[in-house]
Structure formats: structure tokens, C-alpha cells
Amino acid sequence: MDYEGSRPGIPIQLIIGVVIAIVGAVSYLGSSQVNPITGKRQSVALSPGQEISLGLQAAPTIAMTTPMMSWIGIPGRDPS
């Protein structure tokens, strides 16, 4: 059957979807870095400066909500 307005070949929606998937994969793989502490590759969306800034902003909240008992049992840490 031949429908009016249809054309043979690959549907444009499939082409657009493949292009979006390729751009996403390249973006994801391009943002991966090796963690210097663990040596593992990880996907990073933030720069090191942004990570430090977020950590410094969150530090007071974390310090206020972390029970002091969590420090007990850490090797090299004096619980007193």
C-alpha cells in the first residue's frame, strides 16, 4: 500500500533520536575523569572548584546534624 505523504527510508524521528543519543553519550564520556583517591573512572558534572564550593556550603549543616558518636571507632582519631 502506498500512503500519501509517506516516504520510504528511515523515519525522521529515528534519526533525531539516534543523534540525541550520540550527543548524550559523547557528553557523558567526555565528562568522565579518574578519581585520584580511588583510581576509578567516574562521571563528573562539576568542576573541582564547584565541588569544593558545594562542600564548603554544606559543611556547617553536616557538622550540626552529624552525631558526635560517629567519630568513635575511627582509627587515629581521639574520641575525647
Q: Which residues span the domain enclosing 63?
A: 12-69
46 inside domain: yes
35: Cβ–Cβ under 8 A, 6 or more apart, which residues? 41, 42
Q: Is residue 20 part of a domain?
A: yes
Could you tell me the pTM of the whole model? 0.43
Is 2 inside any structural domain?
A: no
Collapsing DSSP to helix, strand or coil, 32 comes out as: strand
Given this model, what pLDDT does residue 76 score? Answer: 54
Q: Is residue 79 part of a domain?
A: no
Give the tens place of pLDDT for each residue, 15-33.
999 999 999 888 887 777 8
DSSP state of 68: G
- 36 found inside a domain: yes
Is residue 80 included in any domain, yes or no? no
Count of the separate structural domains present in the chain: 1
Find the angle CA(35)-CA(39)-CA(45) to the nearest 5 degrees: 25
Section 57-77 average pLDDT: 67
